[in-house]
């Protein structure tokens, strides 16, 4: 069906174009009759090129039939027809190839018009002119002498035919809609009417006007040609050109019009030139305006797109502005909330600080009142233990003693931590041999280790360190105490290792160890691993909190390494003193000297009757000769009796004019002796610095264990002797 309709369409097209070819050829031949055998335009060349370009080379029968039928009609020799036919087919093929090769869009752009003019219009007719001229001469039409002019006129005629008819067909082929508005229709009518009229007047005007030369008004068509080219495009331009051409040919056929002259060759050339100029002008102008219109359209599109984009961007911007505004509002709200919580936080901090201060003040106040009775309990318990002869009570007394001791330890630790927190603890840095301290600690904890059947060893060390010995003692005491507490088998080892400018002091044990998670939290207050029920026998949970605080105060790094089930190693890095004087470590293990009870005389001063009584009894039991005084006056009275005290032990806060320190100074002045003295106080705010201690006077905090007090007194007595 398709094949059938295709071939029918093909045949129809061939028939149509053959008829057009033949018809226009016959008109041209008619004109040739009046032009000595030449024609100013050969339309079949343009019709053939359009057919070839539009429907392909298979349209060759159009030319073959056209030329063949023309030959029959004119009766020229077959050889002439064949050669002219070949020339014409070649011309159409060359024109078509040039159009395709150079991608020439007929009448579209200015450059297309230029290319069209120089390639298919001027180049391809060279082929037809050459073949046609030779064919005609061979067929006996014309002689070789006339060959040049024949060739030239053939070339010009074909060029005119292509220039006018190919664009004309392109413009009008399958474009049914001529006008879209009424004004456009009017324009069409005006242009056609005036072109027709001017053509008629110009090319038949010889007889119409009486003025000489009034017929040479062919230029009048120009405004209408330009109008058509600008306003009506390719179709308008080619139609006006066709009308002009038609009138030119009419004039030529009827021997009228401005080109009429005796020299027919010159007449033909004038006519051809006119047709070429008209057709080319129309094509160029319409192409230029077409491009201009397209550019304007593009520009307008771009403008519209840009406007759209600007509108879109403006909308986006407004949107972002709105969002920004919302964010700013939200931020303002957050800032307000932040300020509010800041104020609340500040208030809470202030309250916490106040609470902390109150706590510290309370502890300071309470400590003195707690320490005094505790001292009495400890002293009386010791007395009871010494003087008890009833075995049934022995266990209860021992329990009482242990409870008192543990209460004292807890109080010490609690006060220690609160003192550090209150920033009361000051550092007193000095150079000292670390081995002395380690040796002391070994001695202090040897008994506890022995009780648990574990060994407590110390590796001697000769290094001098720079730190606060009292604070280092607090740290190491806690560490050694823990090591013994949490070790059931094996040993605890005290040792040092030099690490550049630092001395690492290690307290290692083979105890229960601490898990990795546990190592992160053991330094928090009250924290005890595996002791959620807070069994006080296992400790208070204050030890490591104190250690960490003191280490921080001294700026000494603290480390812990531990493997559960294997043991732990706590280490403290202390700066090594720059002045290292070789200090021979004491190789002998520290064991406190046995009972060196002497009949030394102690002057004991305390305004608290119970404490005075208990301590007095205890010290007497320990073998000292004790003179008890409840205040400064009683002490002076004792002196008046000729008392020569070996050691003065006085409470710090006494009623009357003197503090303990001042009383000691006064007593020394009155006896004229520098009696070694001890200030025994429960006031935790007192330190060696602020108590105003005289020379050779030692500050001892209450409550002090009876054994410890004895140890201190003996040491003082030893130094005196
Ligand atoms: P406590 O008074 O309970 O000993 P500490 O603050 O001194 O309080 O110690 C906190 C916790 O750290 C202890 O309860 C214990 O679980 C753990 N700990 C401390 N030292 C050791 C150690 N040498 N071996 C095993 N565990 C330890």
Q: How far is the CA of 374 from the centre of ligand 1 (A)?
A: 26
Question: What pLDDT was estimated at residue 590?
Answer: 35
Q: What is the mean pLDDT of residues 173-196?
A: 86
Q: What is the mean pLDDT of residues 95-106?
A: 94
| 3-state secondary structure string across 369-413 | HHHHHHHHHHHHHHHHHHHCCCHHHHHHHHHHHHHHHHHHHHHHH
Euclidean distance between CA atoms 381 and 403, whole angstroms:
10
Q: Is the pLDDT of residue 169 over 90?
A: yes
Question: What pLDDT was estimated at residue 529?
Answer: 61
Ligand 1 site residues (CB inside 6 A) read 478, 482-483, 485-486, 509, 511-514, 522, 527-529, 531, 538-545, 568
Mutate to test the pocket of ligand 1, among 491, 520, 538, 544 (most ligand atoms within 8 A of CB): 544
Euclidean distance between CA atoms 617 and 382, whole angstroms:
10
**Do 239 and 179 touch, CB atoms closer than 8 A?**
no
Q: How far is the CA of 222 from the centre of ligand 1 (A)?
A: 116
**Residue 457: beta bridge partners?**
493
Q: What is the mean pLDDT of residues 106-118?
A: 93
> CB under 8 Å, gap of 24 or more: what pairs does 635-642 form?
635/603, 635/605, 635/663, 635/667, 636/667, 636/670, 638/603, 639/667, 639/670, 639/671
Question: What pLDDT was estimated at residue 557?
Answer: 93
**Do 125 and 158 touch, CB atoms closer than 8 A?**
yes
pLDDT category at 360 given cuts 50, 70, 90 is low
Host H or E run for residue 679: strand 677-681
Question: What pLDDT was estimated at residue 573?
Answer: 95
User: Residue 305 half-sphere exposure, CB side, CA atoms within 13 Å?
Assistant: 6
Question: What pLDDT was estimated at residue 69?
Answer: 93
pLDDT category at 179 given cuts 50, 70, 90 is confident
The sign of the CA dihedral 578, 583, 588, 593 is: negative
Question: Which residue matches tokens 């919580």?
Answer: 341
User: Which residues in 400-511 belong to E strands, given as ranges?
Assistant: 430-433, 455-458, 464-467, 491-499, 502-509
Question: Which residue matches tokens 């070819």?
Answer: 21
> Which residue lies with its CA nearest to atom 25 of ligand 1?
513
Euclidean distance between CA atoms 406 and 348, whole angstroms:
35
Question: Which residue matches tokens 């039409």?
Answer: 141
Question: Six-digit token pair at 250?
Answer: 């009419």
| Residue pLDDT, tens place only, 46-77 | 999 999 999 999 999 999 999 999 999 888 89
Any idea what the Cα angle at residue 215 is, between residues 211 and 220, rounded to 5°?
Answer: 115
Peptide bond just before 703 cis, omega within 30 deg: yes
Q: Which atom of ligand 1 is nearest to the CA of 541?
A: 8
Question: What pLDDT was estimated at residue 574?
Answer: 95
Q: Which of 1-10, 47-56, 99-108 has the lowest mean pLDDT?
A: 1-10
Euclidean distance between CA atoms 362 and 665, whole angstroms:
31
Q: Is the pLDDT of residue 687 over 70?
A: yes
Euclidean distance between CA atoms 625 and 3, whole angstroms:
146
**Summary mean pLDDT of the chain:** 85
**Do 503 and 497 touch, CB atoms closer than 8 A?**
yes
Question: What pLDDT was estimated at residue 29?
Answer: 84
pLDDT category at 367 given cuts 50, 70, 90 is low
> Which residue lies with its CA nearest to atom 16 of ligand 1?
529
Question: What pLDDT was estimated at residue 539?
Answer: 62
Paired sense of beta strands 558-563 and 502-509, if any: unpaired
Question: What pLDDT was estimated at residue 492?
Answer: 94
669 vs 404 pLDDT, higher one: 669
| Residue pLDDT, tens place only, 537-592 | 556 677 898 899 899 989 999 999 999 999 999 999 999 987 654 444 444 443 33
Q: Which atom of ligand 1 is nearest to the CA of 483?
A: 23
Distance of CA 149 to the CA centre of its chain: 84
Q: What is the mean pLDDT of residues 367-384?
A: 80
Q: Which of 179-188, 507-516, 536-545 has the lowest mean pLDDT?
A: 536-545
Q: How far is the CA of 370 from the centre of ligand 1 (A)?
A: 26
Q: Is the pLDDT of residue 533 over 90?
A: no
Question: Six-digit token pair at 224?
Answer: 């209408």
Of 29, 555, 444, the closest CA to residue 249 belongs to 29
Paired sense of beta strands 430-433 and 464-467, if any: antiparallel
> Which residue lies with its CA nearest to atom 21 of ligand 1?
482
Question: What pLDDT was estimated at residue 261?
Answer: 76
Euclidean distance between CA atoms 167 and 88, whole angstroms:
19
| Residue pLDDT, tens place only, 607-647 | 887 788 888 888 888 888 888 888 888 888 888 777 888 99
pLDDT category at 7 given cuts 50, 70, 90 is confident
**Residue 509: beta bridge partners?**
492, 568
Q: Is the pLDDT of residue 395 over 90?
A: no
Euclidean distance between CA atoms 118 and 470, whole angstroms:
114
Strand, helix or coil for residue 585: coil
Question: What pLDDT was estimated at residue 62?
Answer: 95
Of 480, 632, 609, the closest CA to residue 543 belongs to 480
Q: Which of 38-52, 92-106, 566-580, 688-702 has the lowest mean pLDDT?
A: 688-702
For helices 43-55 and 147-172, give the axis angle rounded to 10 degrees. 50
Mutate to test the pocket of ligand 1, among 413, 474, 476, 485 (most ligand atoms within 8 A of CB): 485
Question: What pLDDT was estimated at residue 526?
Answer: 63
Question: What pLDDT was estimated at residue 537?
Answer: 52
Question: What pLDDT was estimated at residue 380?
Answer: 85
Q: Is the pLDDT of residue 473 over 60?
A: yes
pLDDT category at 597 given cuts 50, 70, 90 is very low
pLDDT category at 219 given cuts 50, 70, 90 is confident
Q: The whole model's pTM is what? A: 0.48
Question: Which residue matches tokens 């205040």?
Answer: 631
**Do 462 and 435 touch, CB atoms closer than 8 A?**
yes
């Amino acid at each position: 069906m398709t094949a059938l309709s295709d071939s029918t369409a093909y045949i129809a097209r061939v028939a149509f174009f053959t008829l057009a070819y033949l018809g226009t050829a016959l008109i041209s031949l008619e004109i040739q009759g009046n032009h000595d055998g030449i024609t100013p335009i050969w339309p079949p060349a343009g019709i053939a090129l359009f057919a070839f370009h539009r429907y392909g080379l298979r349209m060759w029968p159009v030319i073959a039939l056209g030329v063949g039928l023309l030959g029959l009609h004119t009766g020229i020799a077959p050889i002439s027809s064949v050669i002219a036919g070949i020339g014409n087919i070649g011309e159409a093929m060359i024109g078509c190839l040039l159009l395709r090769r150079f991608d020439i869009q007929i009448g579209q752009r200015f450059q297309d018009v230029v290319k069209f003019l120089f390639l298919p219009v001027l180049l391809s007719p060279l082929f037809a002119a050459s073949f046609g001229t030779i064919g005609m001469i061979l067929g006996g039409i014309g002689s070789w002498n006339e060959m040049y002019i024949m060739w030239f006129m053939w070339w010009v005629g074909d060029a005119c035919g292509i220039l006018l008819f190919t664009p004309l067909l392109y413009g009008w082929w399958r474009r049914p809609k001529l006008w879209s508005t009424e004004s456009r229709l009017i324009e069409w009518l005006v242009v056609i009417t005036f072109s027709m009229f001017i053509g008629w007047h110009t090319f038949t005007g010889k007889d119409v006007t009486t003025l000489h030369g009034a017929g040479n008004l062919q230029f009048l068509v120009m405004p209408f040609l330009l109008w058509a080219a600008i306003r009506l495009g390719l179709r308008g331009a080619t139609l006006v050109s066709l009308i002009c051409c038609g009138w030119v040919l009419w004039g030529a056929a009827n021997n009228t019009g401005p080109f009429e002259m005796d020299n027919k060759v010159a007449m033909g050339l004038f006519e051809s030139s006119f047709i070429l100029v008209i057709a080319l002008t129309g094509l160029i102008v319409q192409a230029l305006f077409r491009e201009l219109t397209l550019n304007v359209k593009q520009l307008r599109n771009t403008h519209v797109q840009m406007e759209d984009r600007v509108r879109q961007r403006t909308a986006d911007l407004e949107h972002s502005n709105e969002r920004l505004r919302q964010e700013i509002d939200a931020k303002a709200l957050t800032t307000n909330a932040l300020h509010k919580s800041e104020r609340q936080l500040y208030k809470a901090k202030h309250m916490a600080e106040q609470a902390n201060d109150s706590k510290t003040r309370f502890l300071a106040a309470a400590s003195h009142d707690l320490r005094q009775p505790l001292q009495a309990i400890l002293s009386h318990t010791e007395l009871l233990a010494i003087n008890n002869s009833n075995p049934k009570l022995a266990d209860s007394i021992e329990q009482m003693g242990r409870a008192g001791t543990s209460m004292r330890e807890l109080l010490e630790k609690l006060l220690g931590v609160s003192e550090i927190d209150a920033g009361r603890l000051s550092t007193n840095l000095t150079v000292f041999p670390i081995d002395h301290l380690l040796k002391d600690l070994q001695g202090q904890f040897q008994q506890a280790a022995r009780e648990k059947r574990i060994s407590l060893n110390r590796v001697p060390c000769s290094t001098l360190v720079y730190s606060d010995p009292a604070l280092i003692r607090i740290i190491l005491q806690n560490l050694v105490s823990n090591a013994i507490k949490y070790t059931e088998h094996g040993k605890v080892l005290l040792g040092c290792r030099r690490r550049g400018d630092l001395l690492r002091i290690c307290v290692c044990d083979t105890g229960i160890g601490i898990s990795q998670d546990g190592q992160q939290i053991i330094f928090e207050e009250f924290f005890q691993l595996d002791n959620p029920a807070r069994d006080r026998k296992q400790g208070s949970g204050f030890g490591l909190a104190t250690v960490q605080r003191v280490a921080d105060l001294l700026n000494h790094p603290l480390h812990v390494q531990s493997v559960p089930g294997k043991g732990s190693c706590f280490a403290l890095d202390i700066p090594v003193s720059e002045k290292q004087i070789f200090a021979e470590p004491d190789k002998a293990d520290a064991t406190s000297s046995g009972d060196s009870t002497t009949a030394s005389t102690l002057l004991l001063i305390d305004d608290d009757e119970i404490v005075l009584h208990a301590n007095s009894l205890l010290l007497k039991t320990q073998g000292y000769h004790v003179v008890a005084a409840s205040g400064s006056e009683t002490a002076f009275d004792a002196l008046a009796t000729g008392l020569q005290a070996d050691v003065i032990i006085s409470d710090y806060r006494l009623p009357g004019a003197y503090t303990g320190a001042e009383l000691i100074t006064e007593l020394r002045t009155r006896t004229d002796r520098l009696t070694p003295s001890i200030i025994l106080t429960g006031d935790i705010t007192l330190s060696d610095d602020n108590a105003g201690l005289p020379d050779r006077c030692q500050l001892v905090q209450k409550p002090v264990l009876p054994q410890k007090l004895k140890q201190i007194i003996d040491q003082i007595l030893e130094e005196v002797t």
